[in-house]
Structures are given as C-alpha cells and as structure tokens.
Structure 1
Amino acid sequence: MGPTAAGKTDLAIELAAALDGELVSVDSALVYRGLDIGSAKPDFPHHLVDIRDPADSYSAADFAVDADRVVTDIVARGKTPILVGGTMLYFRAYLEGLAPMPATDPAVRAAVEAEAVREGWPALHARLAQVDPEAAARIHPNHSQRIGRALEVYRSSGISLSQWQQRGTTGVAATQQFRILQLAICPAERALLHRRIELRFRQMMAAGLLDEVRQLRRRPDLHPGLPALRTVGYRQLWRHLEGQCSLEEAIQQGIAATRQLAKRQLTWLRKWPQLHWLLTDEAGNVCPSGESEVAGSRAAQKPLHAALNYIGLAPM
C-alpha cells in the first residue's frame, strides 16, 4: 500500500520476483481500458487491470469478488499473491468484507451525476449531510465518487449508507482465510512526495496524457461525471479541452488534486491496523527507526531488503 507516486509498483515487482509471486492491482483507475498514461498503468503483468470499459461502473464490492477469485487461483497454483495499489477502500473490502448494500441503480446514479454537473459536488455533499450526517462527516466535499454512492444508496433504498454499514459484513474476509502481511511504502518527507507527484504528472503530460484524454472525449458515451473520468488528471484536462481553463491551469489543478489524493490515502493508512511502514529517503532507501535524514547511513536498506526482513526472509 501507499500514496500515489510512493514507489509501490517498483517494490511489488521486485517482491514478485523474490517470492515467486503474481501481482494483483488494487487501483480504481487501472481497472479501466484506455486510461493508460494518467493511471501510470504498469508494463509488468497485473491481475485486475483493463477489465472494464470506462463507460461502465466498478465498485469496491466488485473488486472484493474479483480479488477473492484471483487470489484463490494464485494460491492454488502454488504462487504468492501480492496485492499492490492505492485504493484503500478496495483493500478494506477484500480484507474485511463489506456491509450488504443495494445494487447500483443506473437511473439514480445518472440523476445524481446530472445534479453534480449543474450544481457541483459540494452542494451534493451538503444534501448528503441532511440525510446521512455520519457519512458526510467522513467524506470530503470534493470526493465525488463517495458522495455519489452515498446519495445513490439513500435515494434508491430509503436507508442511509451509515445504517447499511451498521448491519455488519457479508462474505468471508480474506483475513479469515490467509496469513496477511501488510506493508506501506512512502517517502518520509512530505515535500519529497510532493516533488515526486509533480515530476510524475509532468512526465505523464510529456508522454501524451492530453492526447489520451482527447481520445476519450471523442466517444459520445463518455462524460466527466463517470467514475473512470473523475480520476485525477483526467477530469482537469477534460475541463481544459472544454475551454474552462488553460492547459497550465489544468496541469496545476491536476498536480494539486493528486496531492489531495495522496493526503486522503495517508489518512486511511495512518489508521490502518497491523501495518508495517517503509519510509524512504530521497535516495530511495528505507529510513531506520522512522528517521528521515539517512543518506549514506549504514543502517539504510533498499525497500526490497526491508520488506523481505519484515516478511522473515533473508535479503537477496
């Protein structure tokens, strides 16, 4: 686990080689075909990548079912499943199970998204606070996907999301089936993470992200209210292509939105139980004992070595 641009994929690929493993993507953007550059889609094989068209929806419940199937198959073939990504709700859904929820109602979802286009997500967040104050307190006013789902649940069932969640979980949690080791990788310094986020976003632009968004925008069945296109970077560049801002403004907004995403991811992780942290310095080494200034320190380790030590294997 870890925030965006933290080095999760590189570490996971090294672990796959060391543990005879297969990677399972835990990323709400990588599931969509055509979202390649802006989602930093890896070249290394991952399960649960490119499994949905961007016009379709994909939920945490869908992921829990798919991940259970894939992990069970990997284990049956004698391999080690390595789940890697930054969509914390997906991790929780798979590890702990989910509360029973009503199925997605396309008509209600479309109505919510139309309201958001007219009035903005903060206005819908205020409406959510009226019917489900507990959920609204947990959800940021600009977190469109979670606001939309919470309103959809209430409007389609007459029962708030919080009330559904209080009914307990269904299915068998992964923690009851397997021995789970949980690691989070992240730069020790926030400024370093922010620099990496900006560098990666500008590298995506140089690699053709604007053209990728332009191609998606040519499809008549796609619009910025869809979950796939609310992904950071895509929605800001879509606004630029609609003439709502300059390209540089869209880039700056995309960088800022990515930093906000990283902040939300870290909020999840700081409360995560049984999590082993790998905090890295500017050279990419793991800092000893949570210290950040360890360049050249004999105690510094590469993330792979630190991860293998935690797992209980000697470094390669």
Structure 2
Amino acid sequence: MTMAPPLVIAGPTASGKSGVALTLAEALNGAIICADSRQFYEGMVVGTAGPSERERAQVPHLLFHDFSPESPLDAARFVRLADEAIGKCRKQAQQPILVGGTGLYLRSWRYGIDDAPPSDPQIREHFEARLRQEGIATLHAELLNLDPQAASRIHPNDPVRTVRALEIHKITQKPPSRLLPGNFAERPLRQTGHHVLIWPTLEWLRPRLQARAREMFNEELIKEVRDLHKRLPAENRLLKTMGYEEAHLYVQGKISEEEAIAQMIKRQWTYARRQRTWFKKENWWRVYPADQPNLARSILADWRDVGATS
C-alpha cells in the first residue's frame, strides 16, 4: 500500500501553525514532528511556545523538547531525526506532520544538506565572541569582503548565518558561496511532501505577537531561564533565544518587566519579517492566508483533492 507523503506546515512565528497541525493530526490519525530549531530542547517550552502537556496527550508529538541544550542541533542532525521520526510514524500507521518555522531545516529536509563542513565548536565560538565584542555590522562587512556573493544572500542583521558563513570560510579557506547552493530548486528532491505555508498579513500578525509575548512572560518562563543559566555556560547561543535573553535581563534587574516584554515583541516582530522574506523565495509551498475561515478544513480538503501528493 502506497502511503501519503508527510504534511509539512510552515509559517512565521505566531501564525497559528501549531493549532492547525493539531486539528489535522486529529483528523488524519497523525503525529506532529518538530521542525522548530528551539522547540527541540528540554527546559525550553514556555519561551518557545511549545506544545502543552494537554496537547501532547491529545496527539503524538515527536522530537519536541527531548534533547539536551548542552548539545545544540544543526540542520544535518534535524534531517536525520526527521527521517527517523517519519519512519516511526509509518510503522505505527500514523500520518507524519512536520511543523515549524525554521526554513533552513525544512529546506534541508526537502533537498538535502549543502556541501559545507560540519560546525567546529572552537571556530564558531571565536566568531561568536567577536560578534559579542564587535557587533554584527563588523562581521557582515568582513564577509562582504571575503565573499560578496554569500554576503548578498544573508541579511546584514542575521548573526547566525553570518557567523556560519565566516566559520565555513575559516575551515575550508574557500568562499562559502561555492559550498552553499544558491538555488535549491534546481537540485533533485530527497524527500517529497505536501507543503503548506500559513501566511499572515503583518497587520494581522502584530497584535498576536504582542498578546503572546505578554502571556509568555510569566513565572514559568522565569523558572526556565534560571534553570538554563544554571546548566549552560554564558556563551551558549541558546541563552540568546528570543524571550530567554530578555527574561534574564529582567531577572538580573537590568530592565523592567515592561521593557523585557517590549524587547521580546520587537525581536519576534523582526524574526517574523525575516521568516516571511525566507519563505517568499521558495515556490513549492501551497499558501493559505492565516486569517482564512476554517483554515484547517480547507487544508484538509485540498490534501484529499490532490490525492495527498506534493
């Protein structure tokens, strides 16, 4: 019997992905697989808007908050874990549903990993230390000088991808643009899926981000922040995650609660806009307005109409 390919649900933060996925999982006897770069880690539930205990009891959730923050995941490991989770779903006759907003992970699952070398912790820490001391503008300018083509693909305010590109250059002594394919759509697919993109307007998204940040900033988040700082070194990049960094500044007495929430909202807004820019460049998504009535029902109907194929 031929099984339907995985459903893949993506969209900017706070666009309603998780709720849609939950409804679809119930309708399709499905299991939800994490594709969010921060929701993999134990002790990072509240600040990443991870699934609640009730939701996890409602339908199976795979890869959510199962991994130690001492050993951060990368795209290559995500691809392996996602494939394993999909295989587990198949054995249990469950429909796999990948859900998340980390575009790099989802694109890597679809097309495969680029030819860049694995991360080197010492070299990465060198550039992350420089990032803290010199700022993103200096590092992006350095990348522009080393590899204008790679720099043109990376937003000047994107520290993660800038550091990664400089790390690749340091390891290989080659321009990162030679190793990171510019057009993934020209590569053969390694996995097929039914790709759904939930697309909010900025006007619709802004009040949702504001409300979620205020709801998220609570004693449970403060406890997560305290616990993470007890177990992780100060330079661990997970401590810089949106919400966690601001809550730590609040705990230290450096900013007020209102200032922390305002900074959270600002960072989430910037991140959502970057996600929109990323997904706009990918033409394989079936796009649905986030405010569409009966959104999950429409996605399910389309899924069935096209024979559950990509």
TM-score range, shorter chain: 0.7 to 0.9
In 2, Cα distance between the equivalents of 1:124 and 1:153?
14
Moved more, 71-80 or 15-24: 71-80
Aligned residue for 2:39, secondary structure, equals coil
Give the CA deviation at 1:12: 0.4
1:228-267 aligned within 5 A: 228-242=238-252, 244-267=254-277
Aligned to 1:122: 137
Can you list the C-alpha shifts for 1:68-100, whole angstroms capped at 9, x where unaligned? Answer: 222123224322111111001110000111212
Instruction: Tell me, yes or no, if structure 1 residue 90 matches structure 2 residue 99.
Output: no
1:134-145 aligned within 5 A: 134-145=149-160
RCO comparison, higher one (Cα < 8 Å, 6+): 2
**Contact (CA 8 Å) 1:99, 1:168: kept in 2 or not?**
no
Amino acid in structure 2 at the alignment position of 1:209: L
1:135-174 aligned within 5 A: 135-166=150-181
Alignment equivalent of 2:29, drawn from 20, 37, 41:
20
In 2, Cα distance between the equivalents of 1:4 and 1:129?
29
TM-score, normalised to structure 1, is 0.84
Aligned to 2:295: 303
Give the CA deviation at 1:160: 2.5
Amino acid in structure 2 at the alignment position of 1:306: S
Give the CA deviation at 1:212: 2.1
**Contact (CA 8 Å) 2:111, 2:191: kept in 1 or not?**
no
In 1, Cα distance between the equivalents of 2:123 and 2:191?
36
Aligned to 2:3: none
Alignment equivalent of 1:81, drawn from 82, 87, 96:
96
Instruction: Tell me, yes or no, if structure 1 residue 203 matches structure 2 residue 215.
Output: yes
Give the CA deviation at 1:196: 0.2
In 2, Cα distance between the equivalents of 1:136 and 1:33?
34
Give the CA deviation at 1:241: 4.1
In 2, Cα distance between the equivalents of 1:177 and 1:268?
20
How many corresponding residue pairs?
A: 289
CA spacing shift, 1:115–1:241, aligned 2, 3 Å? farther
Instruction: Tell me, yes or no, if structure 1 residue 190 matches structure 2 residue 202.
Output: yes
Can you list the C-alpha shifts for 1:6-37, whole angstroms capped at 9, x where unaligned? Answer: 11001101111111111111000011111111
Instruction: Tell me, yes or no, if structure 1 residue 279 matches structure 2 residue 271.
Output: no
Alignment equivalent of 1:32, drawn from 41, 48, 57:
41
Amino acid in structure 1 at the alignment position of 2:46: I
Q: What is the root-mean-square deviation of aligned Cα atoms in Å? A: 2.3
Aligned residue for 1:182, secondary structure, equals strand
Give the CA deviation at 1:142: 2.8
Give the CA deviation at 1:118: 1.5
Amino acid in structure 2 at the alignment position of 1:98: I
Alignment equivalent of 2:233, drawn from 216, 222, 240:
222
In 2, Cα distance between the equivalents of 1:167 and 1:121?
23
Give the CA deviation at 1:121: 2.3
In 1, Cα distance between the equivalents of 2:20 and 2:179?
37
Aligned residue for 1:38, secondary structure, equals helix
Unaligned 5+ segments in structure 2 are 1-9
**Contact (CA 8 Å) 1:100, 1:167: kept in 2 or not?**
no
Give the CA deviation at 1:280: 3.4
Aligned residue for 1:69, secondary structure, equals helix
In 1, Cα distance between the equivalents of 2:159 and 2:16?
26
**Contact (CA 8 Å) 1:100, 1:168: kept in 2 or not?**
no
Amino acid in structure 2 at the alignment position of 1:67: A
Aligned to 1:298: none
TM-score, normalised to structure 2, is 0.85
Give the CA deviation at 1:210: 2.8
Can you list the C-alpha shifts for 1:140-174, whole angstroms capped at 9, x where unaligned? Answer: 233222122111111122123211124998xx97x
Aligned to 1:72: 87
Aligned residue for 2:33, secondary structure, equals strand
**Contact (CA 8 Å) 1:8, 1:185: kept in 2 or not?**
yes
Aligned residue for 1:232, secondary structure, equals coil
**Contact (CA 8 Å) 1:7, 1:186: kept in 2 or not?**
no
In 2, Cα distance between the equivalents of 1:277 and 1:234?
31
CA spacing shift, 1:235–1:130, aligned 2, 3 Å? farther
**Contact (CA 8 Å) 2:228, 2:239: kept in 1 or not?**
no
